[in-house]
């Protein structure tokens, strides 16, 4: 993400109101403004150069703004919506919220691919050398990894099993490998399905050498990237992996959203915790302890699910689109700030 501030410093043609200043005042004000806004000099340095007090410099700079001698424009790329981003960050108490323009077919397309591209740039800002980056299964996470072009040296670990072990090379495993390749760090993939037939099978897999090694890193993760799914066909991989009877059971518990095989109701409370016993995934309590958890999710069909997961307190930052953001800004009462990381269950 590239944002820029353009400072236009003009002189004698600064406008009718500015012409009330005498020519010497205009020239001096323009020079001071150029030193301060374009050259990055401090008010003290400017005061020493012009032989005046720093308070005089402060008054001149203030007058230059008031009289349109200096114009400051804040500009971001067209695909980023800075106003919605800031409003969304404030409403949910997030550390970062980045809203991108929805594509024309946003109503039918959850998680547009450009979300992954923006998330890749965001990770380039958030990840520091020596961090442990965790990647959970999700189409948006895979898009993000494919778009990565810069990461400082870091360890990359897979946080969940894969949707289908037979497609591991094209999914979570490849995303982990790609991120590690870009960063030059170690990769710790998980070659196992996310959902197993029963808790005993899942427990046995967790003790296999490669999977156990990845699990050892879960408590060391400093930045995590996750996806969010609505509880409906095609929008949640966990939903699609269950039988009709199991889906009906969890629906009866009020499930509205899924993230990394954890289920949430509309208030952000976890439901159906027994499902986690059958899954290869990072625990919710471990996610809550990770300093930075970035969720990538968008589209109208996922908007309510995004709201539910944000209310859980597990997510600190969000990359989404305008269609989801517009829903989120009016979705029920304002939630508790996410950065408190409070557990809605009180557990």
pLDDT of 148-182, one tens digit each?
A: 999 999 999 999 998 764 444 457 789 999 999 99
Task: Tell me which of 53 and 163 has the higher pLDDT.
Answer: 53
Q: What is the pLDDT of residues 189-235, one digit of tens each?
A: 999 889 999 999 999 999 999 999 999 999 999 999 999 999 888 77
Q: What is the pLDDT of residue 324?
A: 93
pLDDT at 30 over 70: yes
CB 168 within 8 Å of CB 144: no
What 8-state DSSP symbol labels residue 253?
T
168: helix, coil or strand?
helix
Kindly give the pairing relationship between strand 292-296 and strand 317-321: parallel
Q: Which of 340, 333, 331, 271 is nearest to 307 (CA)?
A: 331
Kindly give the pairing relationship between strand 317-321 and strand 96-100: parallel
Cβ neighbours of 165 (radius 10 Å): 14
Note the pTM of the prediction, 2 decimals.
Answer: 0.76
């Amino acid at each position: 993400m590239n944002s820029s501030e353009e400072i236009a410093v003009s002189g004698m043609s600064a406008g009718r109101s500015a012409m009330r200043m005498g020519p010497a005042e205009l020239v001096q004000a323009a020079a001071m403004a150029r030193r301060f806004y374009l050259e990055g000099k401090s008010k003290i340095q400017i005061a020493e150069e012009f032989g005046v007090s720093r308070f005089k410099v402060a008054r001149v700079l203030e007058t230059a703004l008031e009289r349109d001698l200096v114009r400051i424009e804040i500009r971001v790329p067209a695909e980023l919506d800075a106003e919605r981003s800031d409003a969304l960050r404030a409403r949910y108490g997030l550390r970062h919220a980045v809203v991108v323009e929805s594509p024309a077919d946003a109503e039918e397309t959850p998680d547009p691919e450009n979300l992954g591209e923006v998330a890749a740039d965001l990770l380039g800002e958030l990840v520091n050398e020596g961090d442990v980056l965790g990647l959970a299964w999700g189409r948006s996470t895979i898009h993000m990894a494919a778009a990565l072009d810069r990461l400082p040296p870091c360890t990359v670990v897979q946080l969940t099993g894969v949707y289908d072990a037979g497609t591991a090379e094209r999914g979570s495993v490849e995303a982990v490998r790609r991120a590690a390749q870009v960063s030059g760090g170690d990769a710790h993939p998980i070659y196992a399905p996310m959902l197993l037939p029963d808790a005993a099978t899942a427990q046995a897999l967790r003790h296999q050498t490669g999977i156990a090694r990845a699990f050892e890193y879960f408590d060391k993760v400093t930045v995590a990237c996750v996806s969010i799914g609505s509880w409906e066909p095609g929008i949640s991989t966990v939903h699609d992996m269950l039988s009709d009877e199991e889906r009906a059971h969890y629906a009866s518990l009020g499930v509205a959203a899924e993230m990394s095989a954890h289920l949430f109701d509309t208030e952000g409370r976890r439901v159906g915790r027994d499902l986690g016993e059958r899954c290869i995934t990072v625990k919710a309590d471990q996610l809550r302890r990770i300093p930075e958890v970035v969720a990538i999710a968008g589209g109208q069909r996922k908007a309510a699910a995004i709201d539910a997961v944000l209310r859980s307190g597990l997510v600190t930052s969000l990359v989404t689109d305008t269609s989801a953001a517009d829903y989120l800004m009016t979705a029920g009462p304002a939630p508790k700030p996410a950065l408190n990381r409070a557990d809605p269950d009180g557990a």
